[in-house]
Amino acid sequence: MAERLVQKVQTPALPIPRPGPLKHYLDDLNNILRLFFNLLANAVNNVFGELGGRFIDVPNALYFSTVDQPIAVVNTGQVVTFNQTYLESGFSINGGSNSQITATYGGVYNFQFTTQIVSGSASSKTIYLWISRSGTDLGYTAKDVVLQGSSDVNEATWNFNLDLAAGEYVEMKWSSDDIDASLNSEAATSPHPGVASAVVTINFISALPETRPTPP
């Protein structure tokens, strides 16, 4: 069994008041303290006991898009937008742009991003996706996807960790060297449910390090 780093909390043995003028006051005080320490010990032991993580509320979110997102201008970065919110705790999304996902609290977060890219013509096309933090593109975060032929579909998935200070926001950006590229959604058709054009889920990992890393 792995070593338990956090010791189990034991309620303190409060002294029994001796007869005297303060006895009733000390009796009441000890009863109140005993109840408080019992509640505190139960709470802490539940959190650090088996499967105690289920009691912890941490920042998390899930946003997705139900609309097509065509490329507007070739070889020009544009943001991925999300028009639907499924989960949202400790995050918010800019209602004007639908692209800026803002952290309420500083921390290191895991992002899982998925998008469905569709080709609208027979020509080969290269699509790039990358990460932007508070308006600054992060170095060496780009990945490329190549589509071949008309109606070719490619699902791009991305799992990455990123440090965010409170109030900083993340945007997913993309570009294409061909105008006939789109992030496509699909309506529900029996037997399958609808397909989102883009989905991002976010989960808290840890507090920010004392010294934040500098992107390359």
The answer to whether position 27 is within a domain reads: yes
- Predicted local confidence at residue 63, as pLDDT: 98
Q: Is the dihedral of CA 22, 24, 28, 33 positive or negative?
A: positive
Count of structural domains, the chain: 2
- Which domain range does residue 125 map to? 60-206
Residues 155 and 66 occupy one common structural domain: yes
Residue 80 near residue 67 (C-beta atoms within 8 A)? no
Residue 103, in any domain of the structure:
yes
Residue 40 token pair: 């505190």
Q: Is the pLDDT of residue 97 over 80?
A: yes
Residue 212 included in any domain: no
Given this model, what pLDDT does residue 21 score?
Answer: 76
Mean pLDDT calculated for residue range 108-117: 97
Residues 49 and 88 in one domain: no
What is the percentage of the chain residues whose pLDDT exceeds 90? 68
Q: Residue 8 pLDDT > 90, yes or no? A: no
Cβ atoms of residues 111 and 158 within 8 Å? yes
Which residues partner with 118 through β-bridges?
153, 182
Contacts 24+ apart (CB under 8 A), 17-23: none
pLDDT at 1: 42
Residues 178 and 202 grouped into a single domain: yes
Q: State the average pLDDT over residues 13-40.
A: 81
Q: Which residues of 54-79 are buried (b: 16+ CB within 10 A; e: fewer)?
A: eeeeebbbbbbbeeebebeeeeeebe
Identify the three-state secondary structure at position 164: strand
Per-residue pLDDT for 3 more than 80?
no
Distances in whole angstroms, Cα of residue 72 to Cα of each of 105, 182, 192: 34, 9, 30
Q: Report pLDDT digits (tens) over 116-126.
A: 999 999 999 99
- DSSP tag of 215: P
What pLDDT score does 55 carry?
81
- Kindly report, residue by residue over 30-73, the tens digit of the pLDDT: 888 888 888 888 888 888 888 888 888 899 999 999 999 999 99
Is the pLDDT at 5 greater than 70? The verdict is: no
Which two three-digit tokens encode residue 6? Answer: 């956090």
Position 197 confidence tier, pLDDT thresholds 50, 70, 90: very high
**CA terminus-to-terminus distance, the chain:** 40
214 lies in some domain: no
What does the block give as tokens for 86?
């499924």
